Amino acid sequence: MTMLDNRRSELAVTIIIIILSGASVSFLILGSLDIVSYGTFRDIALIPTVIAIFAIGISARKKFQRLSNRLFVGMAAGAIATLALEVFRIPGYLFIGWIPMDDMIMLPGMLLTAKAETIMGVREIIMQSGMPMNFFIPTFDALVAGALWHFWNGATFGIVYSLFIGKGRWWYGLIWGFVVEIGMMLAPWLIMMKGPFGFQHMDGYNIFVMTLIAHLAFGAVLGILVQRWKKHDGSIFELKRITEVGVG
């Protein structure tokens, strides 16, 4: 295989990983739209894509060392950056109420373990999500499942960032955090809960402001870690350019 063929293969695998990474956030999007049930998506898409991403990353260590490094750096940086997000998110819903519920750990955990269906319909839970989450009795398996999903979701956003940006400058992470924030503000479950950008909650700006701060913190930590841990420069755009002009 020529160097150009190798780069084309690397680009193809990179695109596959990015697509697989989208399964995590799609779990809430597709489920809330009633396109597929949460349990079905968990079994046929969410769990298999987690396994596939790890398998690709490990198997690519020899042939696509740069790609493997980008993948695992993004994964680790994204998971750690989620801790920075939690510094603001947890007080946001637990103490000051600017976020109406624990929608990133407890709710996904209930949906993953089918606890939600034992209480009321999933759509009704989302629609009535202004109620405190202690209305539901937290179970250990739901908390574990929700935490695993939440940090894996952060890891997948880190993977996509790492594959797209390469090393980049640390503040690119701030831009990525803002992009993620806008996506969340227009997510179906938030629109059903409190309207786009959460304008139906409290004074109208509370959800947006709190989650924006949280996502900017996520992006800053992600950008710093990816910049420090990456072993190689370049990005998916460089790979695309090389394959187009035929430079090996």
Q: Work out the average pLDDT over 9-30.
A: 95
Distance (Å, whole) CA 72 – CA 74: 5
What is the structure's pLDDT at 119? 47
Confidence of residue 235 (pLDDT cuts 50, 70, 90): confident
DSSP 134: G
Phi-psi region of 140 (alpha: psi -120 to 50; beta: other; left: phi over 0): alpha
pLDDT digits over 81-116, tens only? 999 999 999 999 889 989 988 889 988 998 898 765
Instruction: Write b or e for each residue in 167-190: b if 16 or more Cβ atoms lie within 10 A of its Cβ, otherwise e.
Output: bbebebbbbbbeebbeebbebbbb
Q: Indicate the pTM of the whole model.
A: 0.89
Q: Is the pLDDT of residue 123 over 60?
A: no
Q: Work out the average pLDDT over 13-29.
A: 96
Tell me which residue of 172, 247, 245, 174 sits closest to 215, measured CA to CA: 174
What is the structure's pLDDT at 62? 86
Tell me which residue of 136, 162, 166 sits closest to 222, measured CA to CA: 162
Q: Work out the average pLDDT over 227-243.
A: 78
- Minimum mean pLDDT among 33-47, 125-139, 160-174, 179-193: which range? 125-139
pLDDT digits over 178-229, tens only? 999 999 999 998 898 889 999 999 999 999 999 999 999 999 999 999 999 9
Q: Is the pLDDT of residue 159 over 80?
A: yes
